[in-house]
């Protein structure tokens, strides 16, 4: 039976090679909400992001993923992207010789979105301006010599151009500087305002959440979701870390 959630994982377990990483994950994200996934290093948060995107480095050993009313457990990353899923790249791409503008054009076309060239040029120029990005960057080689903040602007430009139904942003290990943090924060705000987007944010940088209304915080420890609650959990974790959840988990 189709659920009313945009994303719904049921009993999801996944492994890399033969090593089990995720165990029996149940996660439900309604459309239009902002969910945050937190947990200690190595808990499996990035793995969940990759499994949701269909990364072939991981295999689903049990359970299912439903997205927008359809079972996507077996879908290729490309089809998931077309269905409206977006995963931010922790290591943003660098493609010497390819202007950012051409890359974005190819991305839009690859998704099967119809857009006339004039309309496309207008749209990316507007988005660049909204993100405080010098439009000259659109004609520079993708990612080459871009600062951390500029790479994040490209990522947020992709997000706002693609208007996915669900954006999974994994910022955990990327060591964002203050500039890049504010770009991500602004990008997420715009995505909420302009696209009424749904967010699953994986982060340690709770400052990037300050301008968002967080609906639910999920805590992952050792490949399992061990707690979920309202945004107050973020302050608790900021102050006290994950020890309580780790203890809870081992007591089971």
CA R_g for the chain: 18
The whole-angstrom separation of Cα 99 and Cα 102 is 5
10 Å CB burial of residue 85 (0-12, 13-18, 19+) is buried
Determine the interface stretch with Mg ion among 21-29, 114-122, 124-132, 169-177 (rule: CB under 5 A).
169-177
Reference 14, options 65, 67, 66; nearest CA is 65
| Of 42-50, 78-86, 102-110, 117-125: span binding ligand ADP (CB under 6 A) | 42-50
CB of 232 to ligand ADP, least distance (A): 22
The phi, psi pair for 11, rounded to 5°, reads 55, 40
Strand order in the sheet with 70-71: 19-29, 7-16, 58-67, 70-71
Residues 12/22, Cβ–Cβ less than 8 Å: yes
Please identify which residue in 11, 20, 42, 69 interacts with ligand ADP, judged by CB under 6 A.
42
Q: Confirm or reject binding of residue 41 to ligand ADP (CB under 6 A).
A: yes
Q: Which of 8, 81, 88, 172 binds ligand ADP (CB under 6 A)?
A: 172
Query: Nearest approach, Cβ of 45 to Mg ion (angstroms)?
Result: 5
| Nearest CA among 248, 238, 244, 224 for reference residue 45 | 224
Bridge partners of 14, per DSSP, are 22, 60
Binding residue (CB under 6 A) for ligand ADP from 43, 100, 168, 227: 43
Query: What is the rounded distance in angstroms from the CA atom of residue 210 to the CA atom of residue 47?
Result: 25
* Residue 14, number of CB atoms within 10 A of its CB: 25
- 13 lies in the binding site for Mg ion (CB under 5 A): no
* 4, 18, 56, 57: residue in contact with ligand ADP (rule CB under 6 A): 57
Q: Residue 88, interface with ligand ADP (CB under 6 A)?
A: no
Span interacting with Mg ion, options 17-25, 44-52, 138-146, 190-198, rule CB under 5 A: 44-52
In the set 88, 172, 185, 203, which binds Mg ion (CB under 5 A)?
A: 172
Q: Indicate whether 187 belongs to the interface with ligand ADP (CB under 6 A).
A: no
Q: Among 35, 45, 80, 101, which residue interacts with ligand ADP (rule: CB under 6 A)? A: 45
Interface with ligand ADP (CB under 6 A): 16, 19, 21, 39, 41-47, 57, 172
Interface with Mg ion (CB under 5 A): 46, 172
């Amino acid at each position: 039976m189709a659920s009313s959630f945009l994303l719904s994982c049921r009993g999801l377990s996944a492994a890399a090679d033969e090593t089990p990483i995720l165990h029996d994950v149940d996660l439900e994200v309604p459309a239009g909400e902002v969910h945050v996934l937190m947990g200690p290093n190595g808990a499996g948060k990035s793995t969940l992001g990759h499994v949701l995107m269909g990364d072939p480095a991981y295999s689903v050993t049990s359970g299912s993923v439903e997205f927008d009313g359809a079972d996507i457990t077996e879908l290729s990353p490309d089809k998931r992207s077309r269905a409206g899923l977006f995963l931010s790249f922790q290591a943003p791409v660098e493609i010497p010789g390819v202007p950012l503008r051409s890359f974005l054009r190819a991305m839009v076309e690859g998704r099967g979105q119809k857009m006339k060239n004039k309309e496309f040029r207008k749209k990316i120029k507007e988005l660049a301006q909204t993100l405080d990005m010098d439009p000259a960057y659109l004609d520079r080689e993708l990612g080459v010599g871009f600062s951390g903040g500029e790479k994040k602007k490209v990522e947020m430009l992709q997000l706002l151009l693609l208007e996915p139904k669900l954006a999974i942003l994994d910022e955990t290990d990327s060591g964002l500087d203050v500039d890049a943090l504010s770009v991500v924060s602004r990008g997420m705000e715009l995505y909420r305002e302009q696209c009424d987007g749904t967010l699953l944010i994986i982060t340690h940088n709770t400052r990037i959440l300050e301008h968002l209304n967080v609906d639910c915080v999920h805590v992952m420890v050792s490949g399992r979701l061990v707690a979920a609650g309202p945004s107050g959990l973020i302050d608790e974790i900021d102050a006290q870390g994950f020890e309580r959840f780790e203890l809870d988990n081992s007591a089971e």
